[in-house]
Amino acid sequence: MQLKIMPKKKRLSAGRVPLILFLCQTISALEVPLDPKLLEDLVQPPTITHQSPKDYIIDPRENIVIQCEAKGKPPPSFSWTRNGTHFDIDKDPLVTMKPDSGTLIINIMSEGKAETYEGVYQCTARNERGAAISNNIVIRPSRSPLWTKEKLEPITLQNGQPLVLPCRPPIGLPPAIIFWMDNSFQRLPQSERVSQGLNGDLYFSNVLPEDTREDYICYARFNHTQTIQQKQPISLKVISVDELNDTIAANLSDTEFYGAKSSRERPPTFLTPEGNASHKEELRGNVLSLECIAEGLPTPLIYWIKEDGTLPTNRTVYRNFQKTLQIIQVSEADSGNYQCIAKNALGAIHHTISVTVKAAPYWIMAPQNLVLSPGEDGTLICRANGNPKPRISWLTNGVPIEIAPDDPSRRIDGDTIIFSNVQERSSAVYQCNASNEYGYLLANAFVNVLAEPPRILTSANTLYQVIANRPAFLDCAFFGSPLPTIEWFKGAKGSALHEDIYVFHENGTLEIPVAQKDNTGTYTCVARNKLGTAKNEVHVEVKDPTRIIEQPEYAVVQRGSTVSFECRVKHDHTLIATVTWLKDNGELPNDERFTVAKDHLVVTDVRDDDGGTYTCVANTTLDDVSASAVLSVVAPTPTPAPIYDVPNPPFDLELTSQLDTSVQLSWTPGDDNNSPITKFIIEYEDAMHEAGLWHHQAEVSGTQTTAQLKLSPYVNYSFRVMAENSIGRSLPSEASEQYQTKAAEPDKNPTAVEGLGSEPDNLVITWKPLNGFESNGPGLQYKVSWRQKDGDDEWTSVVVANVSKYIVSGTPTFVPYLIKVQALNVVGFAPEPAVVMGHSGEDLPMVAPGNVRVNVVNSTLAEVHWDPVPLKSIRGHLQGYRIYYWKAQSSSQRNRRHIEKKILTFQGSKTHGMLPGLEPFSHYTLNVRVVNGKGEGPASPDRAFSTPEGVPSAPSSLKIVNPTLDSLTLEWDPPSHPNGLLTEYTLKYQPINSTHELGPLIDLKIPANKTRWTLKNLNFSTRYKFYFYAQTSVGPGSQITEEAVTTVDEGKMAMASRQVDIATQGWFIGLMCAVALLILILLIVCFIRRNKGGKYPVKEKEDAHADPEIQPMKEDDGTFGEYSDAEDHKPLKKGSRTPSDRTVKKEDSDDSLVDYGEGVNGQFNEDGSFIGQYSGKKEKEPAEGNESSEAPSPVNAMNSFV
């Protein structure tokens, strides 16, 4: 049976029932097979197999042959119509019909004319099952008429003018091919300036003197009759303006003279097509040709675009120097406006061509032959498209269906004929005609009603020999009506196929994708329908593949020596292998120096021309393999040192002694490359569970070539071997054949078993599941068991799928449970698992800590104590205790403000902890809560406490305003953190002289309610340094510093200006130069000493400006001690420079919980103390100047530079 359908495949896994191939009836594609035995007694309606083309142009010098061939059973008879009426060939002695054919032969070579037989012919092939008809074949003889006689006047034209030489060939059948040549039959050269149009005319964008000639000849070639017709030659002369006027003067009046301007450059204009727009219509599938030819000087260039679209790149062709645009296989989507643009240096013009693509009818779905059995249903579908939409009409046996005999089994629905409950009398040939104004389509399709029992057309007992690991195809060609179903069995007793995958083709073929040894045997194909059964047996033999286990290797030998190429072949013992040697893909030289033995080729007395590629080819009747090696011949040289490398990979892996838990692996070692193999490493791949991943299996000594390997159950093993020597490890060998072990019960249980509750009333049991390798068999599950630890309940168990979690609901809150998880599969259970303990879900604690007590240690630290809560009230794992505390009121301002609560967590069961970072002179409130894994319990009653006063922070700002000759006014802002009640301010100041030395320090007390103070009786034009801080009852706070200068005495400045200007005296200038030189030397020396880490006078002067408050005091008399340079190399602290408004801002400094807390909440030791020693408020380092900010003077800046 032949099926005209795509080769769809159905993959079925064989079970323990017969494998059945159900071939669905494809009524639109079924044909009766052309099997000779089947056709002897199987009737079939006629089918047209060959016919002449619809438009048939004949050569009038030869006989006319109109073809019409058909097949059918019984063989059909033929008849013809001509121009719609019966054509009686017996009455025309010139017309004969070929035997057993409908082809007409009209003998016009002896007598008669071809024109006599012009017309429309149609062939009908008929037998008892119906009639098929051919297309309407239009017969027309080809014509090649001569050119009409005409007188062609010579053409004289001015240089640069455009010109069109008309061709106007005679109308022939088919149309002639046009080309221009000269008298010597040489084609005229064409270019962007001169080209031939689609209509055959020759176009000149502008003429040049070299265009002058007398033999412009247009030729028309008629291929059908092998003739060429020639037009009269055209003469062209190109002259200058003066020559042209002389010619006109001799023949015409004065009014027809040409001006000199006619040869000037000009913008383009179109020679064809005319106007700004035109229209073009083309049929679908044809070549769309659009043409634009322009004249102009200089010669224009042509460009093409498609409006609102792009040109199809793979179907667009430019011809005739881009003057012609062609689109191959044009379709409706190519309709639209195309624009050609002609451009030269003087301008551009464009022409729009509107393209409409029409379409003669074309098939969407042509009707297909139907083979039906009595009582079946079917459809004939005739679907076509075109532009305009084609009209569909039906005929039966060549007669319009409207006037054909009625058939109750058919019903017409537009482009579909529906058949139901057909009988043998329903057999007929149906014709579908789809036509529009541009053409028609005609298709024959028969309905053949047959009642035939199944027949298997494949020869019986066919033997299929196939190489292992290659596909095998077992044929079962069949036919029957109704369409039979196909069943395949294996074995003489009809045993079912199982544990393999087969591919079933709709033509009955059984495919074994990868043939193995166990596929050897007898296969039976059974075809059944309601009229009977047919069967056929075929046999399969699976052979071992042919392999070259020792291949020839690349060889470099010296001239005159002997070389040997190995080629050891392993093949199936039932096949005969032949080994052939080739040199450079040809036969070996016929030379006695070449000796071919069983397993090798020997070449003696090697010559230079023996070099090349030698190939060993091993052939059997089923397969062949080859291996090649290159021979290089060199001149004799000293023996080179051996090359050491890692071994070559082992090969020829083989599995033997295959048991359930072990297998023996053997292999052949590769070349050791001059370093003995020390060991072999064996790896395995589990194709079932972890395909592509290789795992270590075993290692054996380098002298062994076999290994007994222990195996795990339910694993599809493949093995590979690597060799190792002192250089390194080889590449892996090719993988061995696969070996699958049987399933067994699991030998281990899941690990990481835990029991934790996610809700107060559940227990979530989790575990790490076994992987596929550990499952030991299919159907891996887990038996989950649990019971309360302190109760007498029995174990509760449930078996779950291969998951990693099970939730037990309805448990009491935070109760200990005993848990175990056991693995099982379809074979059995794993060993008894270990018991672990878990707890059901936690709930929030019920009781708050009691007896909360607070002990204030100092102004920034407090200690809190509490009593623990009962363990039963915790209802979960105790995480610790959490203190919430917040500042509720400022004692100094006596107003309340909201402050975000702070939290400290103390781990474990501790009952006390420290609260750091408190603000002095503040009122706090706190409470304590117990914490478990679920969250916090209720809060204890709020407990309030207060912190004592502390020292204040530095004043927020200090600025000096209104400087005069003898006074300065200081303004300041109070400290941002007074940390108590301010009692007074302390102001200290001292002058700085011109040598940057500090004068005596003056101390001044200022009431706490002041923010402004004026100092009087100061020296004029003097710099002062100020130190300012606030005090509480606890003591002084941090200080802020500033410098300022009193104004200059203008009277003394005027007197100094009247003195002699010594800067203009020569002695003074020399003195200053000497001083400058000494200073430069001093700077160089100081720079060298500074790099060596020493001290120098400039540094000592810099030290002189240090804040007196930060200089260490002698314990006995309070005088200033020696200044230490331990901080010489500290960088200037960020923010130490004074702003331009002489105001110093002090940033707030709060204690940070980061120093004490755990993450956000703080971290404590087990006794509740902080990690790291706590020592109260730390005194500032003297060298830090109590975080003062000092504005640098110009002298200080110079000192810093030095």
* Stated pTM of the model: 0.47
* Most confident segment among 198-202, 245-249, 1129-1133: 198-202
Q: Span 1141-1168, mean pLDDT?
A: 40
Q: What is the pLDDT of residue 1148?
A: 42
pLDDT category of residue 994 using cuts at 50, 70 and 90: confident
Tokens 């080819």 belong to residue: 617
Whether 1061 has a pLDDT exceeding 80, the answer reads no
Q: In what order do the strands lie in the sheet with 594-596?
A: 563-566, 600-603, 594-596
The contacts of residue 752 (CB under 8 Å, 6+ apart) are 766, 767, 768
Structure tokens of 977? Answer: 């953190």
The contacts of residue 31 (CB under 8 Å, 6+ apart) are 2, 3, 4, 369, 371
**Looking at residue 729, what DSSP letter applies?**
B
Q: Span 893-921, mean pLDDT?
A: 81
Among the listed residues 467, 161, 195, 465, the one whose alpha carbon sits nearest the alpha carbon of residue 322: 195
Per residue in 1064-1078, pLDDT (tens digit) is 567 788 888 889 999
Query: CA-to-CA distance for 94 and 87, rounded, in angstroms?
Result: 13
Give the containing element (helix H, strand E) for 1024.
strand 1023-1031
Structure tokens of 499? Answer: 């544990």
Per residue in 145-175, pLDDT (tens digit) is 888 888 888 999 999 999 999 998 888 888 9
Query: CA-to-CA distance for 205 and 302, rounded, in angstroms?
Result: 12
Q: What is the pLDDT of residue 247?
A: 59
CA distances from 345 to 267, 304, 358 (A): 7, 18, 39
Whether 1054 has a pLDDT exceeding 50, the answer reads no
Per residue in 42-67, pLDDT (tens digit) is 888 999 999 999 999 988 888 999 99
Whether 7 has a pLDDT exceeding 80, the answer reads no
pLDDT category of residue 1121 using cuts at 50, 70 and 90: very low
Per residue in 650-669, pLDDT (tens digit) is 999 999 988 888 999 999 99
Q: Which residue has the higher pLDDT, 514 or 1144?
A: 514
Q: What is the pLDDT of residue 338?
A: 95
Whether 1059 has a pLDDT exceeding 50, the answer reads no
Long-range contacts of 572-578 (CB under 8 A, 24+ apart): 572/543, 572/544, 572/545, 572/546, 572/620, 573/544, 574/541, 574/543, 575/543, 575/546, 575/620, 575/621, 575/622, 576/620, 576/621, 577/546, 577/618, 577/619, 577/620, 578/618, 578/619, 578/620
Handedness of CA 329, 333, 335, 340 (dihedral sign): negative
Query: CA-to-CA distance for 578 and 620, rounded, in angstroms?
Result: 7
Q: Is 811 helix (H, G, I), strand (E, B) or coil?
A: coil
Q: What is the pLDDT of residue 890?
A: 52
Structure tokens of 877? Answer: 């794992």
Query: CA-to-CA distance for 190 and 182, rounded, in angstroms?
Result: 13
Contact status, residue 950 vs residue 921, Cβ threshold 8 Å: yes
Handedness of CA 308, 313, 318, 321 (dihedral sign): positive
Whether 954 has a pLDDT exceeding 60, the answer reads yes
Whether 867 has a pLDDT exceeding 60, the answer reads yes
Cα angle value 433/434/435 (rounded, 5°): 115
Whether 1105 has a pLDDT exceeding 70, the answer reads no
Q: Span 1104-1108, mean pLDDT?
A: 42
Q: What is the pLDDT of residue 872?
A: 87
Per residue in 804-841, pLDDT (tens digit) is 999 999 899 999 999 999 999 989 999 999 999 999 99
Per residue in 536-577, pLDDT (tens digit) is 989 999 999 999 999 999 999 988 999 999 999 999 989 999
Q: What is the pLDDT of residue 914?
A: 94
Chain centre to alpha carbon of residue 800 = 39
Whether 490 has a pLDDT exceeding 90, the answer reads no
Contact status, residue 402 vs residue 376, Cβ threshold 8 Å: no
The contacts of residue 677 (CB under 8 Å, 6+ apart) are 647, 669, 702, 723, 724, 725
Per residue in 394-444, pLDDT (tens digit) is 999 999 999 988 889 999 998 999 999 998 888 999 999 999 999 999 999
Chain centre to alpha carbon of residue 465 = 44
Mean pLDDT of the chain: 83
Query: CA-to-CA distance for 681 and 664, rounded, in angstroms?
Result: 15
Whether 473 has a pLDDT exceeding 90, the answer reads yes
- DSSP secondary structure, 1097-1147, as one string: HHHHHHHTTS-GGGSPBPTTT--B-PPP-TTTTPPPPTT-SPPTTS-----
Q: Is 171 helix (H, G, I), strand (E, B) or coil?
A: coil
Among the listed residues 361, 371, 375, 315, the one whose alpha carbon sits nearest the alpha carbon of residue 73: 371
In percent, how much of the chain has pLDDT > 90?
Answer: 56
Q: Span 511-531, mean pLDDT?
A: 89
Query: CA-to-CA distance for 427 and 373, rounded, in angstroms?
Result: 11
Per residue in 625-659, pLDDT (tens digit) is 999 999 999 988 666 778 889 999 999 999 998 88
Whether 119 has a pLDDT exceeding 50, the answer reads yes
CA distances from 161 to 233, 296, 302, 984, 1040 (A): 21, 8, 19, 113, 101
Q: What is the pLDDT of residue 71?
A: 92
Query: CA-to-CA distance for 774 and 749, rounded, in angstroms?
Result: 9
* Most confident segment among 678-682, 742-746, 1164-1168: 678-682
